[in-house]
Chain A
Amino acid sequence: MSKVIGQRVTRYDGMSHVTGETKFVDDQVVPGTLTVKALRSPVSKGKIKNLDISAAAKMPGVAGIITAADVPCNAFGLVPDQPVLVSEDIRYRGEAIAAVAAVDEDAAMEALEKIGLDIQEQQAVLDPLESMKEGAPQVRPEGNLQMWDGHDYRQVNLGDVDQAFEQADEIVESTHLHPSVEHAPMEPICSLAVPHAGPKLTVYTVSQALYFHLGMLCGILQMEPGSVQCKQWKAKTGSAWRHNTGYADVNYIGGTVGGGFGGKNDIMADHVAALLALKTGRPCKWRWTRAEDLLYSTFRGAWHITIKDAVTKQGRIIGRQMTSIRDAGAYASLNPYVVEKHCYLGAGPYFIPNVRVRGYCVYTNKPPASSMRGFGITPAAFATEVQLDKIADRLGMDPWEVRLTNAFRKGEYTPTKRVLNSVAMIEVLQNLAAKAGVELPGHLKAMASTQERG
């Protein structure tokens, strides 16, 4: 008998949240902290011809400026294809080129204005449908389409979809556009990096995946013995930074986040704050404004989803073909995983014996999209559930009946042939009808997930 599980116990940290006692990254106060501001690209695509920080470095109140030359390993991410700071090729508007640490925000902003930047603007491609075409401007050297096992799409193939279309009484098609959506958590991106003698580094982070980012940050901070970074660090602190930066060199502090929704699964500020802390030997805080957060943080990339269904007069979906195109922005981030998840489960909670899904992950000159609550399934749910009503409309059937007729039952399998054992689609729909005050006909009320399909 459960004493605690299933009980409405008081939220563990509720009182400290509502009284303002909880400390988020921006609430951390470390004396002597410098303010970080970044120089961001004004164009969506271009080449840096000249970058001159000499005048900015001499401005009053400026403690340090970093550019790509200061980043020990300037490529990160799961793939990893994304630079911390652009060295030459700009791939999206807002991409960071340099960052300043100064005594206050005014000094940092004034220094940014003194940075000499000469960019040769190039033709950007913002439309994923254009970017897929042969001869489209190249977004990244690895190609405009993510590759999987020799294909420029992730595929799922179950049964024989073409045969299902031949056997169908009706073929129902639709195309949907799910727009770009921002996570917009209450707490924008913020990072505070504090250097210590030892040498060690403490990073206060908004990350929703501490260990994931700890490994990534250590990768960025790998320092070649005798490198510029090592010398800078030694000059500031008197001791050398351990060259092969490991988990013991960095303590990542966080764990209580002011909303994430998938928007804090990628490092966005910790690397810059850490590098400036190492360069200046002082605590550095980079707090993004709400505008920066909306314009340059990751987001749910837009999706074009086309569905073609083979349907019988009785309302059974016997075949489904989905072609889905994800606008990934300029870098991989978690986009390939988002597309994979879409392919595994995007066809929805129905037993369809013949399924073909092709998911494309297309790079464009937008800020990198990444994970957002529901990954690739949220846009799929929009497309497939509107499609279900179109099928009902075409057949003159009730939307409840179409769903209950096709709903997964115990022992049936998903498009990747995973056999299901804990299935409740029918019961959840029946409960919904009861709660909503909808009287289902007797044969729908009598259905159960444990009944074998007749």
Chain B
Amino acid sequence: MKKIGKGIAAGFYPSGMSGGGDSSQAMVKVQPDGSAVVTVGSCDIGQGCKTIMAQITAEVLGIDYEAVKVVNDDTDNCPLSFGTFASRVTYVDGLATKMAAEDARRILFEIAAVMLECSEDVLEAVDSQIRVKGNPDKSLSIGEVAGAGTFGMRKFILGLGHYMRDPAAMDPETCECDPFCTLAWAASFAEVEVDTETGEVEILRLVNSYDVGKAMNPTHLEGQIDGGATMGVGAAMSENLHPFFPSLEFQPDNLGDYAIPTTMDVPDMESVIYECPSTNGPYGAKGIGEMTANTPGPAIVNAIHDAVGIWITNLPATPEKVLRALDAKGA
């Protein structure tokens, strides 16, 4: 018999290293033609940090996204970063990049103030121009400013940024401490169909809801949510590196035996985004890279319970475990 059930799960996750103390630096160099190169030390592991750093740089300098180049490929040239982990890059590198771009913009304003015969604080950088706020006629293209500054005034238009959260002081007995930058919030809804004859579980629907602070790039965000949910589906349904835990016997040594979900195993996924800004992150952003794998799994397990009344307390929920639990329940 096939039975349908629904389940939910909720969660939260911090941005940046728990305990603090992690650094990232950034450099933004404005070229003589007004385009920019942003250099960071964090890796793009597929999450899209190059895109986000280019977006932040373009936003601050008021130039096109396409006019920004991102460099992050070695330690001789790139500034310090602790690395790409702990959902930290959009938040920590993002802050460093924003600071660096603002520093570069400050130099552009210095140059433009001389050229436009005005004070620096009335200037803004928009539409690839440096212009007087409220007086669009008094403007120069960013290329004119950068070129004149570089060649005419011997300026090096290089902005620097560095963000580090202080290490958290901690009480060893209570663990009282302020260990993280900010928290993002998540919840998942799963609908499953359980075959009581075979123990097979089919996930019919997966809905994921997130607070991300600020959706820096909705396309990236949706991709990250769906990708993380797929990893959550794997952990809940099929992945087990030590199937006879704690023994190492029959440990899978190929991707046929170690069963990562394929597109056939992943249901229709939908997501909904909420923006509750972080108090300090760039544009209010929070990191959600890791947490996207956290709530889909328990939502699926709870849906299995709703369908057939069994609790899977030992992942993954293989057909064998489902059948054994059904037998135990029936007995």
List, in ascending order, chain B residues with CB within 8 A of A182's CB. 239, 241, 258
Q: How far is the CB of A290 from chain B (nearest CB, A)?
A: 6
* A385 and B175 in contact, given A182-B239, A255-B72, A424-B185 (Cβ under 8 angstroms): no
Whether B246 and A126, one on each chain, are in contact in the complex, defined by CB atoms closer than 8 angstroms, is yes
Whether A425 and B10, one on each chain, are in contact in the complex, defined by CB atoms closer than 8 angstroms, is yes
List, in ascending order, chain A residues with CB within 8 A of B156's CB. none
Chain A interface bracket (under 10, 10 to 19, 20 to 34, 35 or more)? 35 or more
A121 interface residue, CB < 8 Å from B? no
Whether A177 and B313, one on each chain, are in contact in the complex, defined by CB atoms closer than 8 angstroms, is yes
Contacts between chains A and B (CB distance < 8 A), count: 369
A77 interface residue, CB < 8 Å from B? no
Interface centre among A9, A364, A427, A431 (most CB of B within 10 A): A9
List, in ascending order, chain B residues with CB within 8 A of A179's CB. 239-242, 245, 314-316
A18 interface residue, CB < 8 Å from B? no
List, in ascending order, chain B residues with CB within 8 A of A262's CB. 85
What 1/0 flags go to B166-205 for Cβ under 8 Å of A? 0000101111111110110111110000000000000001
17 CB contacts below 8 A, A to B, read A4-B59, A9-B55, A177-B313, A182-B239, A209-B85, A260-B45, A294-B253, A302-B246, A375-B18, A377-B294, A381-B294, A382-B315, A385-B9, A399-B8, A428-B187, A429-B209, A436-B6
Whether B315 and A184, one on each chain, are in contact in the complex, defined by CB atoms closer than 8 angstroms, is no
A389 interface residue, CB < 8 Å from B? yes
Whether B217 and A8, one on each chain, are in contact in the complex, defined by CB atoms closer than 8 angstroms, is yes
What 1/0 flags go to B54-89 for Cβ under 8 Å of A? 111011001011000010111110101111111000
Contact of A385 among B6, B50, B219, B302 (CB under 8 A): B302
A40 interface residue, CB < 8 Å from B? no
In whole angstroms, what is the CA distance A386 to B247 when docked?
Answer: 26
Stretch in A58-66, A112-120, A154-162, A279-287 with 4+ CB within 8 Å of B: A154-162
Whether B209 and A211, one on each chain, are in contact in the complex, defined by CB atoms closer than 8 angstroms, is no
Whether B185 and A428, one on each chain, are in contact in the complex, defined by CB atoms closer than 8 angstroms, is yes
A451 interface residue, CB < 8 Å from B? no
Chain A, residue nearest B64 (CB): A4
Whether B218 and A290, one on each chain, are in contact in the complex, defined by CB atoms closer than 8 angstroms, is no
In whole angstroms, what is the CA distance A5 to B213 when docked?
Answer: 13
Q: How far is the CB of B243 from chain A (nearest CB, A)?
A: 8
Whether A386 and B313, one on each chain, are in contact in the complex, defined by CB atoms closer than 8 angstroms, is yes
Stretch in A82-90, A190-198, A224-232, A413-421 with 4+ CB within 8 Å of B: A413-421
- A interface residues with partner B (beta carbon < 8 Å): 2-9, 11-13, 44, 93, 126-130, 148-150, 154-158, 174-182, 184, 207-212, 214, 247, 250-262, 264-265, 290-291, 294-295, 299, 302, 327, 337, 340-341, 343-345, 348-349, 357, 364, 366, 371, 373-375, 377-378, 381-382, 385-386, 388-390, 393, 399-400, 403, 407-408, 415-418, 420-425, 427-429, 431-436, 438, 449
Whether A428 and B83, one on each chain, are in contact in the complex, defined by CB atoms closer than 8 angstroms, is no
Contact of A431 among B74, B170, B209, B214 (CB under 8 A): B209
Q: How far is the CB of B24 from chain A (nearest CB, A)?
A: 10
Stretch in B107-115, B140-148, B272-280, B323-331 with 4+ CB within 8 Å of A: B272-280
B91 interface residue, CB < 8 Å from A? no
Chain B interface bracket (under 10, 10 to 19, 20 to 34, 35 or more)? 35 or more
Give residues 210-251 of B contacting A (CB, 8 Å): 210-211, 213-220, 228, 231, 234-236, 239-242, 245-248, 251
* A184 and B294 in contact, given A435-B270, A436-B189 (Cβ under 8 angstroms): no
Which 10 A-B residue pairings sit nearest by Cβ, starting from the closest?
A209-B83, A385-B298, A432-B209, A260-B45, A149-B172, A424-B211, A385-B9, A424-B276, A127-B246, A12-B50
In whole angstroms, what is the CA distance A412 to B224 when docked?
Answer: 29
Whether B45 and A5, one on each chain, are in contact in the complex, defined by CB atoms closer than 8 angstroms, is no
Q: How far is the CB of A83 from chain B (nearest CB, A)?
A: 21
In whole angstroms, what is the CA distance A449 to B76 when docked?
Answer: 47
Q: How far is the CB of A430 from chain B (nearest CB, A)?
A: 9
Contact of A207 among B43, B185, B279 (CB under 8 A): B43
List, in ascending order, chain B residues with CB within 8 A of A4's CB. 55, 58-59, 64-65
B48 interface residue, CB < 8 Å from A? yes
Whether A156 and B175, one on each chain, are in contact in the complex, defined by CB atoms closer than 8 angstroms, is yes
Contact of A422 among B51, B62, B183, B235 (CB under 8 A): B183
List, in ascending order, chain A residues with CB within 8 A of B42's CB. 255
B149 interface residue, CB < 8 Å from A? no
In whole angstroms, what is the CA distance A111 to B80 when docked?
Answer: 40
In whole angstroms, what is the CA distance A26 to B51 when docked?
Answer: 24
What 1/0 flags go to B287-328 for Cβ under 8 Å of A? 001110111011101100100000111111000000000000
Can you name 4 extra interface pairs (CB under 8 A) apart from A428-B185, A435-B207, A436-B207? A6-B283, A211-B81, A294-B258, A345-B18
Whether A126 and B86, one on each chain, are in contact in the complex, defined by CB atoms closer than 8 angstroms, is no
Whether B179 and A344, one on each chain, are in contact in the complex, defined by CB atoms closer than 8 angstroms, is yes
Contact of B74 among A7, A176, A254 (CB under 8 A): A254
B152 interface residue, CB < 8 Å from A? no
Whether B279 and A5, one on each chain, are in contact in the complex, defined by CB atoms closer than 8 angstroms, is no
Whether A11 and B258, one on each chain, are in contact in the complex, defined by CB atoms closer than 8 angstroms, is no
Chain A, residue nearest B173 (CB): A157
Whether B217 and A9, one on each chain, are in contact in the complex, defined by CB atoms closer than 8 angstroms, is yes
Contact of B73 among A6, A175, A256 (CB under 8 A): A256
Whether A344 and B45, one on each chain, are in contact in the complex, defined by CB atoms closer than 8 angstroms, is no
